[in-house]
Structure 1
Amino acid sequence: MSAAPGRPKQTRTAALQGEGSPVNTAPLSVEQIPAGVVTLADHEAHARTRLDDNAWAYFSGGAGDEFTLRANCSAWNERLLNPRVLQPLAGGHTRVKLLGRTLAHPVLLAPVAYQRMAHAGGEVASAYAAAALGAGMVLSTQASFPLETVADAIAADPIRGPLWFQLYIQPDRGFTRELVQRAERAGYEALVLTVDAPTSGARDRERRTNFHLPAHISAVNLAGMAAPAQRTLQPGQSALFDDLLATAPTWEDVAWLQSITRLPVVLKGVLHPDDARQAAALGVGGVIVSNHGGRTLDTLPATASVLPRIVQAVAGELPVLVDGGIRRGTDILKAMALGASAVLVGRPYLYGLANAGALGVAHVLRLLRDELEIAMALCGCRTLAQAGPHLLFRPD
């Protein structure tokens, strides 16, 4: 793949330091982790000082009263670890296998739209960081950099994790097909179909701030797509159900997507066991237990609570990933003990991006990796293959 016009090729170290690339907009020549930032919670607190009210409402807000947003984090905290002592730990590691690849650790960057609102480097900076730390990355359909530019930035990196493309099926199925073909040509290794957001949630924070995209930021990968024809509604018809959702995707569209691509299709947003079983019956590549970070429908259960049911429903037929509320390495270990194949993080790395560009994202990933190793060692767990329900404390 050729380099994107106007963006010089550079080493991974230079990219992380913000040298000679769009990932550096700080007043210092080299971006640094802010003093005192040593946890993901610290990154969040500092990012609030870096993001304006408009961007903060978009990235941090949830739907409705944000019950699910809060529950995602608290549900992991409520699960307690049950360590073993004096276990052999020499040769331990965090490696896992996922969709035919061996990953250095089970952490992927979840799809987050419009990352240039947080930092000029946007998704390119996040991709550099993911590659440097061996993490997987899922690029959003609504990325603020072209999907080809992001893929090209890390294509030659020998230690990078998998690069997946998150997809919203568009009303124009022909445009969707072209988008899939672009992702295939660019070297993406899987399609992550978001299935839990046929419409946006009622996000009160965004409404209070009158959220709007800055003039220089857009969903560039959707450029050129024709606007759907507006339907004439009859009296009593709904503008949502009878117009906007008239072409909403169904299970038939999942099968159609599988028929037009050679890439595995992973369904993101599965919470019901019956949906998990239907996904397995279709032979999808995997499912992601997700409530969209609490951004779509409020009062959904926390993903930590749903994960065991989905794992049981698919009975090992396909990988089960989980996102939502992961803030510590202990959360990752708990997810693996509950049967997850890997986890995704969203808001935490966005906060790192806002704080220090690619270096901030890398710092978030490093913290999670280090904390995971510590948690494993202190639980007597040498590899993640040894993680299971026995690692979780159950009171009598």
Structure 2
Amino acid sequence: MTVDEVRIRARERFKGICRVCKFCDGVACAGEVPGMGGVGTGTSFKNNIKALEKYRVNLRVIHDITEPVIRTQIFGKELSMPILGAAVAGGKINFRGYFTEEEFVSSQIEGAVSAGTIAMTGDGGDPTLFTTGLESLKNAGCSGIPVIKPRKTRDIIKRIKDAEKFDITAIGIDIDAAGLINMTRMGQYVGPMTVSDLKEITSSTKLPVVLKGIMTVEDALAAVEAGIAGIVVSNHGGRALDFTPGTAEVLPEIADAVKGKITILADGGVRYGIDVLKMIALGADAVLIGRPVAIAAVGGGARGVEMVYNKMADELRSAMILTGCRDVNSIDRKILRCHFVALSDE
């Protein structure tokens, strides 16, 4: 089985839900939510791609680096690469029930573990989604990061207590799902949260708490104030609010404000190892990948997912050699050309 074969099978199995385009840029699937597209005009999804494309990388090859180290630690967990699986769930809604949630989530988790990294699991309008993710982690005998929607504080704490019974690395809150209409239509509350809410949550558990959906310096600083262990700079893959900036556009200013105070993860438009390199250069400690993993899970199960991780890892190593980066910690903005130029279209 090859990556190309996985993509061909995924295109057949998706039955039009995802076209598995040669380059996944949000154009063909704009507005297809539920589905794999971006909300509304799809501009936020497309902006993720455009923001990364704006950055150029300096080729530097007069050095002695032949075997760059891509291993890293996130929340005390040793990972083979600075690439984790984003929480992609809700197959019954987004994929019209063509795939069982167990099949889909297990493939994501097992593929990540085989590649030496970890995956996040999700939550949704169907309350069983969260427990399905936990059970899949247990069945795989591995760690991971379960992610909870921004429910009432007491409901989040209850789910954290359920998650603490499992061997997990951290717990996440998908705060960028605060306006998710599908959740409210299914009778599941979601909404914004205050610093006070977040402090109550972080004080209720010894697990690191990760807040996903940070797109401004103000929210990043509020997360630090609340005792959050990590943030994900993310616009929910362009599926929450139309016309947001791309994540690579806001990542540098957020990193400048909170780097070293909190773990910084980022997602949005990461398709190749060079994208991972750019995100880390812009201030991320590691990145999350969502759609590439979802496509691989549908087309090739756990093996397909593992292949995607390994392909990105190989691309990252090559890019590090060609930019003179010895390890993940040595990747910085010096490898980017004109990173200070405004990201407006010319």
In structure 1, give the amino acid aligned to 2:292: P
Cα distance in 2 between the residues matched to 1:256 and 1:46: 46
Name the counterpart of 2:68: 92
Distance in 1, matches of 2:164 and 2:204, equals 11
The residue type equivalent to 2:83 in the other structure is V
Task: Report the alpha carbon displacement of residue 54 of structure 1 after superposing the two structures with TM.
Answer: 5.3
Tell me how far apart the structure 2 counterparts of residues 46 and 392 of structure 1 sit (CA, whole Å): 36
State the secondary structure of the residue aligned to 2:165: helix
The equivalent position to 1:77 in structure 2, one of 53, 67, 72, is 53
- Superposed counterparts of 1:28-177, under 5 Å: 32-33=1-2, 36-37=4-5, 43=7, 47-53=10-16, 57=32, 58-115=34-91, 117=95, 119-120=99-100, 121-142=103-124, 143=129, 146-155=132-141, 162-171=143-152, 173-177=153-157
Distance 2:2 2:90 in 1: 22
Report the RMSD for the aligned CA atoms in angstroms. 2.6
Q: Residue 379 of structure 1 aligns to which amino acid in structure 2?
A: T
Contact 2:202 2:227 in 1 (8 A): no
Q: Which of 137, 155, 163 matches 1:183? A: 163
Report how far residue 145 of structure 1 moved.
Answer: 6.2
CA displacement 1:62-121 (0-9 Å, x = unmatched) = 111001111111221221101221211144210122212222110000001124746441
Distance 1:165 1:326 in 2: 21
Structure 1's unaligned 5+ residue stretches are 1-31, 202-211, 213-218, 220-225, 229-243
Aligned equivalent of 2:317, options 370, 373, 383 = 373
Counting only pairs closer than 5 Å after superposition, residues 284-295 of structure 1 correspond to structure 2 as 284-295=228-239
Distance in 2 separating the partners of 1:132 and 1:371: 18
Q: Counterpart of 1:87 in structure 2: which amino acid?
A: H
Alignment partner of 2:294: what SS? helix
User: After alignment, is 89-98 or 366-375 more displaced?
Assistant: 89-98
1:30-59 deviation per Cα after TM superposition (whole angstroms, max 9, x unaligned):
xx446x45xxxx83x763332134577434
User: What's the CA shift for 1:134?
Assistant: 0.9
Q: 1:65 to 1:381 in 2, by over 3 A?
A: same
1:381/1:284 Cα in 2 relative to 1: closer, same or farther (>3 Å)? same
From 323, 331, 334, give the equivalent of 1:390.
Answer: 334
Alignment of structure 1 residues 251-262 onto 2, 5 Å: 251-262=195-206
Q: Is the 8 A contact 2:84 2:286 kept in 1?
A: yes
* 1:140–1:167 CA contact under 8 A, matched in 2: yes
Structure 2: give runs of 5+ residues left out of the alignment: 20-31, 342-346
Q: Distance between the aligned counterparts of 1:175 and 1:296, measured in 2?
A: 22
Structure 1 Cα separation of the partners of residues 68 and 273 of structure 2: 16
Deviates more, 1:247-256 or 1:281-290: 247-256
Distance (whole Å) between structure 2 residues aligned to residue 136 and residue 377 of structure 1: 25
CA deviation digits over 1:186-210, x for unaligned, max 9? Answer: 1222111111221227xxxxxxxxx
Q: Is the 8 A contact 2:105 2:133 kept in 1?
A: no
**Aligned residue for 1:249?**
193
Task: Please say which structure displays the higher CA radius of gyration.
Answer: 1
Secondary structure of residue in 2 paired with 1:152: helix
Pairs within 5 Å for 1:312-327? 312-327=256-271
CA gap of 1:248–1:322, structure 2 versus 1, over 3 A, is: closer
How many residue pairs match? The answer is 315
The letter for the 2-side match of 1:289 is V
Q: Is the 8 A contact 1:114 1:122 kept in 2?
A: no
TM-score by length of 2: 0.83
Residue correspondence of structure 1 range 202-241 to structure 2 within 5 A: none
Mapping for residues 264-343 of structure 1, pairs under 5 Å: 264-343=208-287
- AA at the equivalent of 1:150: S
**TM-score, normalised relative to structure 1:** 0.73
Structure 2 counterpart of 1:254, one-letter code: L
Query: In structure 1, how many angstroms separate the alpha carbons of the residues matched to 2:99 and 2:321?
Result: 36
Q: 1:81 to 1:195 in 2, by over 3 A?
A: same
* Letter matched to residue 71 of structure 1: N
Tell me the SS of whatever aligns to 1:180.
Answer: helix
